[in-house]
Copies of this chain bind each other. A is one copy, B any other.
Amino acid sequence: MVKSNPLYRLMNPRSIAFFGASNSIMTIGTPLLLNIIKGGYRGKVFPVHPTKKTVLGLPAYKDVSSLPEVPDLAFLVVSKKAVLDVLDACGRRGVKLAVIVTAGYGETGSEKDRDIQAALDEVAMKYGIRYLGPNCMGIINTAIGLNTTWFPYTQTPGHIGFISQSGSYVTQALPYFARMGIGLSKAVSIGNQANIDMIDCLEYLGDDPDTRAIAIYAEGIKRPRTFLEKARNITSIKPIVIMYVGGTRAGARAAASHTSAMAGHDGICAGMFRQAGVLRAMSFPDMFDACLALVQQPLPKGNRMAILTNSGGPAITMADACDRCDLDVPLFDSRTRERIKKIIPPVASPKNPVDVTLNYDPDLIFSRLPDIIMDLPYIDGMLFYGIFGPVHLKDKINLAGDLIEIPIDMISDAMEKACMKFVSAYRRFKKPILCACFCGRDDDEAVKQIEDGGIPVYPTPERAVKAMAALYRYSMIIKARHGDMTDEYN
A residues adjacent to B (C-beta < 8 A) = 23-26, 28, 30-31, 34-35, 38, 56-57, 80, 103-104, 107-108, 135, 150-152, 164-169, 172-173, 175-176, 217, 219, 243, 245-251, 253-255, 257-259, 282-285, 307, 311-317, 319-324, 328-329, 331, 346-347, 349, 351, 353, 355, 357-358, 360, 392-393, 395-396, 399-400, 403-407, 438-439, 443, 459-462
Contacts and interface: CB of A to CB of B under 8 A. Distances in A.
Given A57-B403, A103-B357, A104-B346, A312 B438 contact: no
Nearest to A108: B347
A438 B257 contact: no
B168 A312 contact: yes
A319 B250 contact: yes
Contact of A349 (B258, B313, B331, B400): B258
B438 A173 contact: yes
Given A166-B312, A404-B30, A176 B320 contact: no
Nearest to A191: B312
Contact of A254 (B247, B250, B316, B357): B316
Contacts of A313: 164-169, 217, 258
B322 A250 contact: yes
Contacts of A284: 317, 460-462
Contact of A166 (B31, B316, B321): B316
A403 B56 contact: yes
Contact of A251 (B166, B176, B320): B320
B312 A167 contact: yes
Contact of A258 (B152, B175, B246, B355): B355
Given A351-B257, A459-B176, A314 B168 contact: yes
B320 A25 contact: no
A25 B404 contact: yes
A395 B152 contact: yes
Given A284-B317, A312-B167, A316-B219, A250 B329 contact: yes
A378 to B, nearest CB: 15
B103 A347 contact: yes
A242 to B, nearest CB: 13
Given A255-B316, A319-B253, A346-B104, A175 B439 contact: yes
Contacts of A253: 319, 329, 331, 351
B400 A34 contact: yes
B319 A251 contact: yes
Given A217-B313, A406-B25, A248 B172 contact: no
A448 to B, nearest CB: 15
Given A168-B311, A251-B320, 20 more contacts: A25-B393, A34-B403, A57-B403, A103-B347, A152-B395, A166-B312, A169-B313, A217-B313, A245-B316, A248-B320, A248-B323, A250-B323, A251-B323, A253-B329, A254-B315, A254-B316, A258-B313, A282-B462, A283-B462, A284-B461
